[in-house]
Amino acid sequence: MSMRKLTIAALALCGSALAGPAMALTVHTASFISSPTATVGFEGLGSISTPNQVKSYSENGVLVDYIGTGYIWSWSQTAPEGQYSWYADGGGYGYTRFTFAQANAFELLVNSGFYDGSGVLAYDVLLGGVSVGTGIAGPAPAYGAGWATYGFSGATFDEVRLQVSQGGQAFAPTVFEAGAFDAVKIGTVEVPAVPEPATWALMITGFGAVGAMVRRSARRARVQFA
């Protein structure tokens, strides 16, 4: 094979390594979506309180529903933006689910119904029903103690499941929880591609092949012109 063809093959090897690195889910603890494609402020909930039967709400193409035994109270006393927010009244055994068109960025404000500040935000982020990332995002403020910002980016997804439970428990569909949410933003952001270790190895192999071919070419040139 000619030097030119070998070089092209080696460069193609490097290019294929860079073409499609896996995107890991990133958890954010500050606002990062400047131009959302969809927002949810829960103002359309109006004033609802116990007893009620509200478990689902839709706004700007985003469906929000409570999966489990809880029912929703529009938490008007502590809403950080506007007049109303989303809260499983008295807590519930389940989680809040957000479904929407595919995106790679999601953020919202988080509070809890726990008075002692022991709540933590657990999450499961999915695409087509398959989890692309799950874990604990961080602590949720106690009732009346302000709101924390959390978000996710990196992977592509179309569903976010959230719950605020106690004891640092990982996401579980039927755990007792008391999460309150508001000011949802969804959109697309530019995410730098970071190659995984296997991708780096493939790239190094390609670069090494190019270097070896260059050295062989140089040795042949010295022999021919000596």
Same domain, 116 and 176: yes
Same domain, 82 and 145: yes
Instruction: Report which of 40, 146, 153 is spatially closest to residue 106, judged by C-alpha positions.
Output: 153
> In which element (H, E) is residue 155 found?
strand 148-166
Same domain, 97 and 207: no
Spatial separation of the C-alpha atoms in residues 44 and 60, rounded to whole Å: 11
Same domain, 71 and 144: yes
Q: How far, CA to CA in Å, does 12 sit from each of 119, 174, 192, 209, 213?
A: 50, 49, 21, 11, 15
Same domain, 106 and 211: no
Question: Digits of tens for pLDDT over the chain (226 positions)?
Answer: 554 544 444 444 444 444 444 579 999 999 999 999 999 999 998 887 665 678 999 999 999 999 999 888 886 656 778 889 999 888 899 999 999 999 999 999 999 989 887 899 999 999 999 999 999 999 999 988 889 999 999 999 999 999 999 988 899 999 999 999 999 999 999 865 555 455 445 445 554 554 555 456 545 444 343 3
Same domain, 15 and 30: no
Counted domains in the chain? 2
Asked whether 142 and 114 are in contact (CB, 8 A), the reply is yes
Same domain, 120 and 205: no
Same domain, 39 and 150: yes
Same domain, 126 and 52: yes
Beta strands in 113-143 (DSSP E): 119-127, 130-139
Same domain, 10 and 41: no
Asked whether 44 and 15 are in contact (CB, 8 A), the reply is no
Residue 109: give the domain boundaries. Answer: 26-187
**DSSP letter assigned to residue 23:** P
pTM, entire model: 0.76
